[in-house]
Amino acid sequence: MPDGSLLLFDNGDNRNYSSAELYSRAVQYRINKSAGTIQQVWEYGKERGEETFSRIVSDADYHVDEGNVVFMPGAILSGAAPTGKMIEIDYSTGEVVFEATITPPIAAFDLITFHRIERLPIYP
C-alpha cells in the first residue's frame, strides 16, 4: 500500500483452527518492525459471510488512482454452481462501487471460476 502497510486476501479457511465462521476478506495490516507489532487497520468481507467465502484462488488489490480496493474471491461454492465475484470497494467509506458475479459454463475442477482478476483501462 502507499503507506507501506500490507493488503492481502485472507481466505479464512480453518480460521482459528475452526470452520465455525466461514468468510473471506481483504485485510490491511500496518507493521512496525522496530516495535515488533502488527495492527489490523482495515478489512472487507467478514460482513458478507459465506456469500464471498473462497478457500482458494483469490486476490485483493489496491488501486491508487481511485483509492479503491478490488476484492476477488474466485471459487465460491455457497450456491447451486461455482461462482466468483469481483467487488470494488471505496476504501474510505467501505461502500461497494462495483460488483460482478461470474458463473463459468465449466468451472475448472468443478470449483474454480478464476484465479485472479486484473482491472485494466478500457482505452490504453
User: pLDDT tens-digit profile of 61-84?
Assistant: 999 988 999 999 888 887 778 888
pLDDT of residue 97: 96
Q: Is residue 109, in this structure, part of any structural domain at all?
A: no
76 found inside a domain: yes
Report yes or no on 111 lying in a domain: no
Asked if residue 84 belongs to a domain, the reply is yes
The verdict on residue 117 lying in a domain is no
Q: CA–CA separation, 12 vs 67, rounded Å?
A: 25
Which of left, alpha, beta for 77 (phi over 0: left; psi -120 to 50: alpha)?
A: alpha
- Asked whether residue 19 is domain-assigned, the answer is yes
Q: Is residue 124 part of a domain?
A: no
Note whether residue 21 is domain-resident.
yes
DSSP symbol at 110: T
Q: Which domain holds residue 86?
A: 6-102
Contact between 8 and 32 under an 8 Å Cβ cutoff? The reply is no
Q: How confident is the model at residue 5 (pLDDT cuts 50, 70, 90)?
A: very high
CA distances, 58 to each of 54, 80, 81, 113 (Å): 7, 20, 17, 10
Task: Point out the least confidently predicted range of 25-34, 87-96, 115-124.
Answer: 115-124
Instruction: Give bridge partners of residue 89 from the DSSP assignment.
Output: 69, 96
**Number of independent structural domains in the chain:** 1
